Structure 1
C-alpha cells in the first residue's frame, strides 16, 4: 500500500519558509512545529496535559498584571531562516504585541512546556538550547510523574547555558 503525503507536507529541499508556513491551513498550523525548515507533527496532548497547562496558565494570568498576557498553544517564531517555529504550551508575553503579529522571543518573558512522552527529547534538549540562545526570560519544563500531583519544574534564563 502506498502512502500519499498531504500536499502541505511535500517540501522543497530548502524546507518550509515563513511564507510557506503563512500559507498553510490554520488547522495544520495548530498541529505542527517547524525545526530548521522541517515539519514536526505534534500528537494531540492527553486531556491531563491540557488540564495542567490550562490551570497553570490561569495562575500565571491571575498574577501577571496588565502589562503581560498569557496564551496557550500560540506560535513562537524562534528563527527566520531556516525557519524555527515552536508552539509552547504556555507563553507569557508583552501585552502590547498586536494579536495579528507573530510572537518572537523578545516578546516573551516565560515559555512553558508540559512534557509528554512524545516530546521528552525535544523538551529536555532541543527547546532549552533554542530558548536559551534567545531573549526569552525563562523556560519552564513541567515533568509530570506517575501521579498528576507529582511534577518537577525546571527553568532556563535567556542567553544562558542549559
Structure 2
C-alpha cells in the first residue's frame, strides 16, 4: 500500500495583514490577487474593508433592480451586480448594481473608471449607512462616475443623483415611481424592486 501525496494547500484567505492595514499600503493589485475564498473587500485609501454579507431584502432589491435594468437599458448598456469598480490605485468599491457601457464588458471581477461606468447603485443597510450615504458618493463623484443611486430600505425609496461640476446633485427621488431622463429615459416603479 502506498500513500499518495496530498496536493499542496491552496493559498487561503486569512484576512489582511495588520501592519499593511495600519500603513494603508494595499493596492488594487492586492485586491485582484486575493484567493477565491476571500470575502468581498473594498479598498479605501489603501486599507482593506470587508464588505458585510447582505441581508435577504438587500439582495432581493439588488437582484430585482439588476433584472429591471437588464430588461430596460438601451442597446449599448449592460447591467452588472456583485462586481467591483476601481477608482484609484488604492481605492476599490463593490457597488450593489452597476450600469456599464456594453463595449467595455470584460467579464472580470472589477472595472476601472477608465471603462465607462455609467451608474453605480448602493442599497443602504444598517451596517453600510455611513459609507453609502456619505463616503462612497464623494469618492464616486471624484472618480467621475456620472450617476449614483442610493436605495433606502423599509420602506424602499430611491434617490437618483447626477454628477454636476464634480458633485452629485439630486435629480429625483421617489418611494413610488422614479422618473429620470439620465442615463436614459427611466420610469421605475419602486414596487418592481421591492421584496
TM over 0.5: yes
The answer on 1:86 being equivalent to 2:93 is yes
1:118 shift after superposition: 0.5
Aligned CA RMSD, in angstroms, stands at 2.0
- Structure 2 gap segments, 5+ residues each: 1-12, 169-195
The answer on 1:99 being equivalent to 2:91 is no
Task: Look up the SS of the partner of 2:152 in the other structure.
Answer: strand
Structure 1 or 2: larger strand share?
A: 2
1:20 shift after superposition: 1.7
1:53 shift after superposition: 0.7
Task: Look up the SS of the partner of 2:128 in the other structure.
Answer: helix
2:63 aligns with 54
* 8 A contact 1:91–1:108 mirrored in 2: yes
TM-score (norm 1): 0.83
> Which of 124, 129, 139 is matched with 1:130 structurally?
139
TM-score (norm 2): 0.70
**Higher-Rg member (1/2):** 2
* Count of aligned residue pairs for this structure pair: 151
1:43-93 deviations in whole A, cap 9, x for unaligned?
A: 11001100011101111111112311111110100111xx10000000100
- Structure 1 gap segments, 5+ residues each: 1-5
1:4-49 deviations in whole A, cap 9, x for unaligned?
A: xx64411533521122222211332x52111011011111100110
Q: CA 1:41–1:100 in structure 2 vs 1: closer, same or farther (change >3 Å)?
A: closer
- Distance in 1 of aligned mates of 2:107 and 2:148: 22
List, as ranges, runs of 4+ consecutive aligned residues in structure 1 with deviation greater than 3 Å: none
Task: Look up the SS of the partner of 2:111 in the other structure.
Answer: coil
Q: CA 1:25–1:117 in structure 2 vs 1: closer, same or farther (change >3 Å)?
A: same
